[in-house]
């Protein structure tokens, strides 16, 4: 499938006209129509912009992958963000991972059967992080009473 075919499919899924897409991307309708008809090739910057708008990977737009999400890039993004998240980094990382898995399921790229145990694990880990403060206080209270 060529980039124009992918663009047309994604645009129709969003319910936008070619004019609306052109306006959102800041280009002429004829330019956008050229992309969809495979008459014109978008620049790398435009490919990145369209991938971001449609929330798909550039590889998906370019036809290099049938997966709309680059899982490895997403996990890399999560991992690189951990230092910025501070004290709640573990919990935020797990929540972000869960969102990614849900997105993959919604797009049909990961079946619910395969993802269910993963999501259950993530839920348990998130709950553990949420309860961590309460569970660490109890042992110290017991020690104070001894």
Cα separation, 141 vs 146, in Å, equals 9
Angle, CA of 140, 143 and 145, to the nearest 5°: 115
Cα separation, 25 vs 43, in Å, equals 13
**What is the pLDDT confidence band of residue 133, given thresholds at 50, 70 and 90?**
low
User: Which of 61, 83, 104 marks a domain boundary?
Assistant: 61
Answer whether residue 7 is part of any domain: yes
Whether 57 and 76 map to the same domain: the answer is no
Q: How many residues does the chain have?
A: 146
| Cβ pair 10, 3 in contact under 8 A | no
pLDDT tens per residue, range 9-65: 999 988 999 999 999 999 999 999 999 999 999 999 999 999 989 988 898 899 888
Interacting residues of 77 by C-beta distance below 8 A, sequence separation 6+: none
Q: Is 2 exposed, middle or buried (0-12, 13-18, 19+ CB in 10 A)?
A: middle
Answer whether residue 92 is part of any domain: yes
Q: What is the pLDDT of residue 134?
A: 52
Whether 138 has a pLDDT exceeding 60, the answer reads: no
Whether 78 and 133 map to the same domain: the answer is yes
Answer whether residue 145 is part of any domain: no
Whether 48 and 17 map to the same domain: the answer is yes
User: Which of 37, 61, 85 marks a domain boundary?
Assistant: 61
Whether 104 and 128 map to the same domain: the answer is yes
Answer whether residue 33 is part of any domain: yes
| Cβ pair 8, 36 in contact under 8 A | yes
Cα separation, 133 vs 115, in Å, equals 29
User: Which of 61, 86, 105 marks a domain boundary?
Assistant: 61
Q: What is the CATH number of the domain that holds 16?
A: 1.10.260.40
Mean pLDDT (the chain, rounded): 82
With H, G, I as helix, E, B as strand and everything else as coil, classify residue 16.
coil
| Cβ pair 57, 85 in contact under 8 A | no
Interacting residues of 84 by C-beta distance below 8 A, sequence separation 6+: none
What φ, ψ does residue 55 adopt, rounded to 5°?
Answer: 60, 50
The alpha carbon of residue 26 and the mean position of all alpha carbons in its chain are separated, in whole angstroms, by: 24
Whether 144 has a pLDDT exceeding 70, the answer reads: no
- Domain of 119 in residue numbering reads as 71-140
Split into its structural domains, the chain has a count of 2
């Amino acid at each position: 499938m060529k980039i124009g075919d992918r663009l047309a499919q994604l645009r129709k899924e969003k319910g936008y006209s070619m004019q609306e897409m052109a306006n959102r991307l800041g280009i002429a309708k004829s330019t956008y129509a050229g992309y969809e008809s495979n008459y014109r090739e978008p620049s790398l910057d435009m490919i990145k912009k369209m991938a971001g708008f449609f929330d798909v990977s550039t590889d998906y737009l370019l036809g290099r992958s049938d997966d709309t999400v680059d899982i490895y890039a997403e996990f890399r993004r999560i991992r690189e963000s951990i230092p910025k998240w501070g004290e709640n980094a573990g919990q935020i990382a797990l929540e972000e991972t869960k969102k990614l898995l849900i997105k993959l399921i919604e797009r049909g790229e990961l079946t619910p059967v395969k993802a269910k145990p993963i999501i259950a694990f993530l839920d348990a880990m998130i709950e553990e992080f949420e309860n961590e403060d309460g569970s660490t206080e109890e042992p110290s209270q017991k020690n104070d009473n001894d």
